[in-house]
Amino acid sequence: MKDRAWIEIDLDALDNNVKILTQTMSHRSKMMAVVKADAYGHGAKIVAAHLEKIGVTAFAVATIDEGISLRSSGIRSEILILGYTDPIRIQELYDHDLTQTLVSPDHAKALARNDLPIKAHMKIDTGMHRLGFDWKDIQAIRDCFTLPGLKLTGIYSHLCVSDSLSARDQEFSLIQTQRFTRLLKKLCAEGFPLPKAHIQSSYGLLNHPQIKCDYVRIGIALYGVHSSSGLRTILRPKLRPVLSLRSKVVLTRQIAKGETIGYGRTFATARNTTIAVISIGYADGLPRSLSNTSSYVLINGHPAPIIGRICMDQLTVDITDIPNVTPGTTVTLIGKDADRSIRAEEMAKQAGTITNELLSRLGERLEVYPNSQ
């Protein structure tokens, strides 16, 4: 029930983004939809079910528990776990038909000691220096192809500065791509059967569309937003935001000129002011750092400035100049209201973060509703 604060998901916008991004990809590539962190706060079960319905057949999550959750909700397509899974959970990997990333030679050997044939993608560290086999360690990579108990169905890397168009970062992305490509060619020349290969994420596609691999891992772009406000990309497909964040007015009240509002008395009214209390706060994932900035919400198509400190489960706004605001009136914090809108990039910038973090945090506590409900 939409009685306090909630997230709305526009499935038509999701359809639009899948169609446009698929057209942008190489004809040999397939989309791997990244639905980790509850689909970046959009509701992984809802998003994955809809994507599978319209033809997406590969998904990526961060953890084994995210993968099990998708399987339990009825997702039958490939599910790749991008992060580490302890080998003691190998039975669960097998039972739920999950594909595990091999994050190091030792991790691969530990998984291979079991009798269960686990599907796996080998990750190659081409310069990010996080997870993966060192791209120069050819022998360890060769050995992984022959480990018993592992069914190697993929090999991949990750571009760490693909969102940047600076000459220096573009050069480094090229270096990473060349390292990955040379490794694949060497393995092929030595007679190893190459599994599905992938190196592009959202910005890998938008800034390096010339790369041609079997999969493109689409995360933030799938949801119609950029990681940061004003971020430029070489390709600029017309993506549509999928998520809206809404709440309700709890009450309205009159505050005299010169009175203070909220914890710390950080805001004083400069005139006789009508305020509204809104039922959402930082425990719901809304950044407390939006307090006492130029941030606002939309009510009846009008901007209502956030005033005072954002509390754990509520906030206050100035509605002096907005007509017809009563308890129960819907409030838009991200999304469209009449002819005005607030983008997630705008809120993230005000909060000093990126949309990836902002949206993921919002989805931790709030109910998610597709636009069909």
**Helical H segments across the chain, by residue range:** 11-24, 36-40, 44-53, 64-72, 90-95, 105-112, 138-145, 167-189, 202-207, 344-351, 355-362
In the chain, the largest separation of any two C-alpha atoms, in whole Å, equals 80
Beta strand residue intervals within the chain, DSSP E: 5-9, 30-34, 58-61, 78-81, 99-102, 118-125, 133-134, 150-156, 196-198, 215-218, 243-255, 260-261, 267-268, 273-278, 296-299, 302-307, 315-318, 330-337, 340-342, 367-370
Give the strand pairing for 243-255 and 5-9: antiparallel
Tokens 């790369």, located at residue = 211
Tokens 């489960």, located at residue = 313
Catalytic: which of 30, 36, 123, 248?
36
Position 76, amino acid: R
Picking from 227, 242, 248, the residue whose alpha carbon sits closest to that of residue 335 is: 242
Whether the CB-CB separation of 297 and 278 falls below 8 Å is answered with yes
Whether the CB-CB separation of 92 and 110 falls below 8 Å is answered with no
53 assigned to active site: no
119 assigned to active site: no
Encoding tokens for residue 222?
């799938």
Catalytic: which of 185, 186, 257, 263?
263
List active site positions.
36, 263
